[in-house]
Amino acid sequence: MFKTKKKMVGIIGLGVVVMLGIASTYAFLSDQTALIANTFTVGKVGISLAEPAWELAGPEHKIVPGGTLEKDPTLTVKADSEESYVYLELDFSNDLAEFTAYYELDYHADWELIASTPQKKVFAYKETVATSKQGTTLPALFTTISFSEELTSETLSQLTAPQINVKGYAIQAQGIATALAGWQEVSK
Which position has the higher pLDDT, 159 or 65? 65
Position 91 pLDDT exceeds 80: yes
Q: If you average pLDDT over every residue of the chain, what do you get?
A: 86
List, in sequence order, every beta strand (DSSP E) within 2-159. Answer: 47-50, 68-70, 74-77, 84-92, 103-107, 111-116, 120-125, 136-137, 142-147
Instruction: Give residue 24's pLDDT.
Output: 60
The pLDDT of residue 97: 78
Number of domains, the chain = 2
Q: Could you read off the pLDDT of 94-134 as tens digits, one per residue?
A: 778 788 888 999 999 999 999 999 899 999 999 999 999 99
Q: How many helices (H) and strands (E) does the chain have?
A: 5, 10
pTM to 2 decimal places: 0.78
Q: Tell me the residue type at 94.
A: N
**Residues 31-51: tens digit of each pLDDT:** 777 877 776 666 799 999 999
Least confident window among 85-89, 102-106, 137-141, 156-160: 156-160
Q: Are residue 25 and residue 51 in the same domain, yes or no?
A: no
Instruction: Indicate whether 82 and 9 sit together in one domain.
Output: no
Range of the domain at 102: 47-186
41 lies in some domain = no
* Whether residues 90 and 16 fall in one domain: no
Considering the domain boundaries, does residue 161 fall inside one? yes
Q: Would 14 be classed as within a structural domain?
A: yes
- Decide if 22 is inside a domain: yes
CATH number at residue 130: 2.60.40
For residue 148, is it within any domain?
yes
